[in-house]
A = this chain, B = another copy of it.
Amino acid sequence: MNESINQVQTKYLNLNKTIVLESSKTLSNIKIAYETYGKLNENGDNAILICHALTGDAHAAGYHSKDDKKPGWWDTMIGPNKAFDTNKFFVICSNVLGGCKGTTGPASINPDTNKPYGHDFPVITIEDMVKVQKELIDYLNVKKLTVAGGSMGGMQAIEWTIKHPEYVKSAIIIAAAARVSAQGIAFNAVGRNAILQDPNFNNGNYYEGNHPEKGLAIARMVGHITYLSEQAMHNKFGRDFKQDKPNFDFGVDFEVESYLDYQGRIFVDRFDANSYLYITKALDYYDPIEKYGGLENAFNKTNAKFLIMTFDSDWLFSTESAKEIVNALIKKEKKVSFIELSSPCGHDAFLIEWEKQARIIKSFLKEE
Instruction: Give chain A's interface residues, CB within 8 Å of chain B.
Output: 23, 25, 119, 122-123, 179-183, 185-187, 189-190, 192-194, 196-199, 214-215, 217-218, 221-222, 225, 228, 230, 233-234, 236-239, 246, 248-250, 253-254, 256-257, 260-261, 264, 277, 281, 284-285, 287, 290, 315
Give the complex CA separation of A261 and B185 in angstroms: 13
B residues in contact with A218, CB < 8 Å = 190, 193-194, 197, 218
Q: State whether B254 touches A123 (Cβ < 8 A).
A: no
A320 smallest CB distance to B (angstroms): 10
B residues in contact with A287, CB < 8 Å = 239
- Beyond the given pairs A123-B250, A189-B256, 9 more chain A to chain B contacts, judged by CB atoms under 8 angstroms and listed by A's residue number, are A25-B248, A123-B248, A180-B239, A181-B233, A182-B233, A190-B190, A193-B218, A239-B290, A246-B285
A175 smallest CB distance to B (angstroms): 16
B residues in contact with A228, CB < 8 Å = 183
The one of B181, B225, B248, B253 that contacts A190, using a Cβ cutoff of 8 Å: B225
Q: State whether B182 touches A230 (Cβ < 8 A).
A: yes
Q: State whether B225 touches A186 (Cβ < 8 A).
A: yes
Q: State whether B190 touches A222 (Cβ < 8 A).
A: yes
Q: A248-B123, A287-B239 are in contact. Are A181 and B260 (CB under 8 A)?
A: no
* 24 A-B contacts (beta carbon < 8 Å): A25-B248, A181-B239, A182-B233, A182-B234, A182-B236, A182-B238, A182-B254, A183-B225, A183-B228, A183-B234, A183-B256, A186-B221, A186-B233, A189-B256, A190-B190, A193-B261, A193-B264, A197-B198, A197-B215, A197-B218, A199-B199, A239-B290, A250-B277, A254-B284
Give the complex CA separation of A341 and B290 in angstroms: 34
Give the complex CA separation of A182 and B236 in angstroms: 9
Q: A218-B197, A281-B250 are in contact. Are A234 and B190 (CB under 8 A)?
A: no
Main secondary structure of the interface of A (DSSP, over half): helix
Copies in the complex: 2
Using CB atoms, name the residue of chain B closest to A254. B185
The one of B123, B183, B192 that contacts A233, using a Cβ cutoff of 8 Å: B183
Using CB atoms, name the residue of chain B closest to A284. B254
B residues in contact with A183, CB < 8 Å = 225, 228, 230, 233-234, 256
The one of B189, B194, B196, B199 that contacts A194, using a Cβ cutoff of 8 Å: B194
B residues in contact with A122, CB < 8 Å = 248
Give the complex CA separation of A248 and B278 in angstroms: 10
The one of B249, B256, B277 that contacts A186, using a Cβ cutoff of 8 Å: B256
B residues in contact with A182, CB < 8 Å = 230, 233-234, 236-239, 254, 256
Give the complex CA separation of A12 and B131 in angstroms: 66
Q: State whether A257 touches B189 (Cβ < 8 A).
A: yes
Give the complex CA separation of A221 and B219 in angstroms: 12
Using CB atoms, name the residue of chain B closest to A21. B248
A275 smallest CB distance to B (angstroms): 13
A129 smallest CB distance to B (angstroms): 15
Q: State whether B193 touches A23 (Cβ < 8 A).
A: no
Q: State whether B189 touches A254 (Cβ < 8 A).
A: yes
B residues in contact with A238, CB < 8 Å = 182
Give the complex CA separation of A69 and B196 in angstroms: 34
Q: State whether B123 touches A257 (Cβ < 8 A).
A: no
B residues in contact with A285, CB < 8 Å = 246
Q: State whether A257 touches B225 (Cβ < 8 A).
A: no
The one of B180, B190, B256, B281 that contacts A185, using a Cβ cutoff of 8 Å: B256
B residues in contact with A290, CB < 8 Å = 239
Give the complex CA separation of A126 and B208 in angstroms: 47
